[in-house]
Structure 1
């Protein structure tokens, strides 16, 4: 057997890191008591090492890994969008891309929240549940739709990049790229420079991806060293219902839409989404996962650069199918816990509010809870009910993010197919993109 065949794939390494992290986190819970001290002593001296191991080593390494991913987001989005828009020969194509992308994102969000409410009413997760809580939740005020539109246009693009305001970065990058396309030779010369920068950034993505198994290990170890089984017990019905609807939407809804609108094999897409979903599950951030999502769409799914550079950053900002599912189930759950009967009209209002809020509140910190607060207020449910579900929301947030980025890639494939920008040979090739995952580290290994 050759040396290359003995090497584990990146997906296998990430799974191993995730499993080892979960086991390590569980063992740490057994080793530490409630005060954070070890249950054993050395030479008569007791050591309190919980802070050193979990909050120190694991937290530091995990945060460095997430920061390394976030470091790439702004330059990747800006450079990719500029490269994509400056190469557009048909200005009307940009309008088509926007209309198709936003339309599909709104459609999938509406389907998601409808599924969530339907299964919530069928299962009734809040019936007979009484959960005492001392926690409190104060809802932040969401901006008006007019203010959201105004805030999309930056007064200072450099400040927008420094603050990571994705909608403002997208607007500026599109305008910058269109200006380059209209400038002639000067635009072509600058475009060639941006193309080279884009290649380098994608190679940097490869380097970070190869470090993922270690980042995944420490993040999962830290998480599962702090999650108690008793917290899941009281909310088990709600937790597993949300999880079920997330998986159903991610596997069935996306597959039906992809097959129905493109004729492509959805299993091929789902198989190629494994690495990106593992990143999303670990980081709980669509924005932090964006470099990996873009690498997957381009190199594994064959989505053209002019499409992926537009649809994916937009999806990471406004596509919140997973959050919409949480909102739907949580609304039913909180209504049942508080004994409030909602009418059919109320549930229709929940669907409309959650769907429109997924676009209207994009870029607002704590957007998931802000959106849920908006939904609850719309149907006169107590916002304080959010405190009931905060305890288990961390694990669900990880799954929601994986669903969201799968939806982003699904929409990208549909839009690319409709625009003739999908390389079906790459899409159908099970080994597409495998070389790009390890090319940098293989190069480093051979020169050591």
Structure 2
């Protein structure tokens, strides 16, 4: 059986088992089994992957920048990456806002019955209150101590770590002047060791996928999906439009690539992203797929995918736009066209820098909602379905990273061929 088939089977079995046992969720024996047998399996797998994300990001990004700088191609690759990121993110938010205005999923909802997990709302509110002003947040992208931000990379410090890696990689290219460098050898060996760890850990992926999906379905069941079904369908429909229409057109128009063949090659990574709900956890597999199966230039895939795991969050941007307008409809807050445009722009910006871990976008949504007068308690409405939607939007985020990497690689190759 192929690996993606095993992952899909594990996902389905985990979902079915969780749904079947959800009705017995109050049983002490089942709760103990879930807590001490199932939950540790999924968490152990994620921790093993998260363990090598920081050294992989640093070594991969430094190598990518070093190789691009050595060939004077960094500026062009960066411009293309930024162009495709803004294009895809803008399209995703416009789709989401358009759908929520057309279908009006929040009209007439009975608010008191759906306040959800108050503790969870308070935790999100605390995170949102800790958010820094825009100017201060921009300044903190430049780290005072790269070793300090490396230790906090998975807790909001990824952008500063990436900035340091970009600067250091470019400096390596300038100091080496095309000559062999001991630093580069160390980085290459570090990157290779990270990939070896990923290959080893992935042998246990089917078991981990079962555990992770079982966790979500056992805890929430399908009742919460029914109560917020209309909202959930609007978000998922928007994500499908982004994947099936926007990404397809981008691959056709800008890369002259066959979308169905491309998506088929990426299916294993899609399943992995869906199960883990984490762009950071999926990054090692995306890098491996890009170089081994898609045959992208390593210096380009390492640069684009590493940057994209944090800066290119199409699915998150769409989700944030839909959710803010949905909550506005629920609470009867009528937004003018200018306010909706503000939501669109802020959702695009908020998608850049969102933590690539499960639930990383929720504090940003709370910031957006509070700015337009929606009560903080409104977040309780979506907490029950957020895990499922997080799995869906993470899949789109990862897909967008791979699409952009393929387009940048194709255009860079075409440019080289035309100049030869």
TM-score w.r.t. the length of structure 2 is: 0.89
Distance in 1, Cα, partners of 2:71 & 2:162: 16
C-alpha displacement of 1:276: 1.0
User: What is residue 264 of structure 1 aligned with on the other side?
Assistant: 257
C-alpha displacement of 1:167: 1.6
Distance in 2, Cα, partners of 1:341 & 1:29: 38
Distance in 2, Cα, partners of 1:17 & 1:54: 17
Cα distance change on mapping 1:191 and 1:159 into 2, 3 Å: same
C-alpha displacement of 1:416: 1.3
Distance in 2, Cα, partners of 1:26 & 1:284: 19
The 8 Å contact of residues 318 and 347 in structure 2, kept in 1 or not, is answered as: no
The worse-fitting range, judged by mean Cα deviation, of 105-114 and 166-175 is 166-175
Cα distance change on mapping 1:156 and 1:347 into 2, 3 Å: same
The 8 Å contact of residues 115 and 378 in structure 2, kept in 1 or not, is answered as: no
Q: Are 1:27 and 2:7 matched, yes or no?
A: no
Determine which structure has the larger helix proportion and give its number: 2
Distance in 1, Cα, partners of 2:165 & 2:252: 32
Once the two structures are superposed, the pairs formed by residues 49-448 of structure 1 within 5 Å of their partners are 49-90=29-70, 92-132=72-112, 133-135=114-116, 136=118, 137-138=121-122, 139=125, 140-141=128-129, 142-164=131-153, 165-184=157-176, 187-359=180-352, 367-420=360-413
C-alpha displacement of 1:59: 0.6
C-alpha displacement of 1:190: 3.1
User: What is the Cα-based RMSD across aligned positions, in Å?
Assistant: 2.4
Cα offsets for 1:159-206 (capped at 9, x unmatched): 222222222222222222223223338752332333233223222222
Q: Partner of 1:264: helix, strand, or coil? A: coil
Cα distance change on mapping 1:270 and 1:246 into 2, 3 Å: same
The 8 Å contact of residues 310 and 354 in structure 2, kept in 1 or not, is answered as: no
Structure 1 gap ranges (5+): 1-7, 37-47, 424-448
Q: Which has the higher contact order (CA 8 A, sep 6+)?
A: 2
Structure 2 gap ranges (5+): none
TM-score w.r.t. the length of structure 1 is: 0.84
Distance in 1, Cα, partners of 2:135 & 2:334: 33
Cα distance change on mapping 1:126 and 1:93 into 2, 3 Å: same
Cα distance change on mapping 1:364 and 1:49 into 2, 3 Å: closer
The 8 Å contact of residues 277 and 394 in structure 2, kept in 1 or not, is answered as: yes
From the CA coordinates, give the structure whose radius of gyration is larger. Answer: 1
Distance in 1, Cα, partners of 2:305 & 2:73: 16
C-alpha displacement of 1:134: 4.2
Cα distance change on mapping 1:362 and 1:10 into 2, 3 Å: closer
